[in-house]
Amino acid sequence: MAKRTVLLVFLAVGLLPATASASPPIDAAALAEDCNKDGLVEVVNQLRVDGGSGTLLRDCFISMAPKATLDLRDVTLDGGDVAFVIADAQQFTTVRVRDSSISLGDDGAIQLSPGCCAGEGEPDRGEYNARIGVVGSFLRAGTVEVSASTADRNGTVIVKNSILKGVAAWSENPVVVHASVSSTGGRASVYDSQLISVTGIRIATGTFDFTTAVTITTGAGGACTSSGNTPPTACT
């Protein structure tokens, strides 16, 4: 799949609930190895990735079952022009990223998106009440998206003390934060973070909250847009 057409419909972690049972944790090297086998990872209940480093050699697509949780803590992932994408996630799914770094190539793509994309091709499959939290982390690729329940209701996004950096000059908005942009009840909060883009940044959700200082930067000719927010929140 071409990086420019990857569907990126892509964070406080302590505020998001954990599931009742979990498999033994793996490290970043094991996650990368699993991805590199066939490009597919399925999260049925809870997958904890704790520590270590790994290199992605191919696109990695993560599928999440209802109520599944993906935890990344103290993890370092790198790679070239590949995609790290949650391609299939359902209701009450959760992604938590803390003190981690994911750094991919200029034509690479990062999508962290529980609750995506309202069951395309699957009628009546809900993807509501998804949550994602990114705290103390660094995400860098051609395009970076952090989203929850993009086409369904009650998505929650928290970004705190983190850097989201999109370097793709070919994308109108290399950095995107979305929560329930096609439905109701979405909420996104950004705390003390940097959103860096060479062209533009798009923030869209039912409620957007710059709770404390946030730095949003774009390159020459860049633009930051904010829409659908209550109260209206300007980007500069």
> Which residues are registered as beta bridge partners of 111?
85, 145
Inside any domain, residue 152 = yes
More confident residue, 23 or 100: 100
Task: Tell me the average pLDDT across 68-78.
Answer: 97
Instruction: Assign 219 a pLDDT band (cuts: 50, 70, 90).
Output: confident
Inside any domain, residue 49 = yes
Place of tokens 């299939």: 88
Question: Looking at residue 119, what is its pLDDT?
Answer: 55
- SS3 label, residue 159: strand
Question: Looking at residue 124, what is its pLDDT?
Answer: 63
Instruction: Assign 70 a pLDDT band (cuts: 50, 70, 90).
Output: very high
The number of domains in the chain is: 1
Instruction: Assign 87 a pLDDT band (cuts: 50, 70, 90).
Output: confident
Inside any domain, residue 127 = yes
What 8-state DSSP symbol labels residue 116?
Answer: B
Question: Looking at residue 1, what is its pLDDT?
Answer: 36
- SS3 label, residue 38: helix
Inside any domain, residue 233 = no
Inside any domain, residue 232 = no
Range(s) of the domain holding residue 32: 3-16+24-227
Inside any domain, residue 70 = yes
C-alpha triplet 10, 142, 166: angle, nearest 5°? 75
Inside any domain, residue 180 = yes
Inside any domain, residue 218 = yes
Instruction: Choose among 188, 190, 179: nearest CA to 151.
Output: 179
Contact by Cβ (8 Å): 198, 174 = yes
17 HSE (CA, 13 A, CB side): 9
**Does residue 229 surpass a pLDDT of 80?**
no
Contact by Cβ (8 Å): 56, 36 = yes
Question: Looking at residue 21, what is its pLDDT?
Answer: 46
Task: Tell me the average pLDDT across 200-204.
Answer: 89
Q: What sign does the CA torsion over 105, 167, 111, 21 have?
A: positive
**Does residue 163 surpass a pLDDT of 70?**
yes
Taking only the tens place, the pLDDT of each residue in 144-161 is 999 999 888 899 999 999
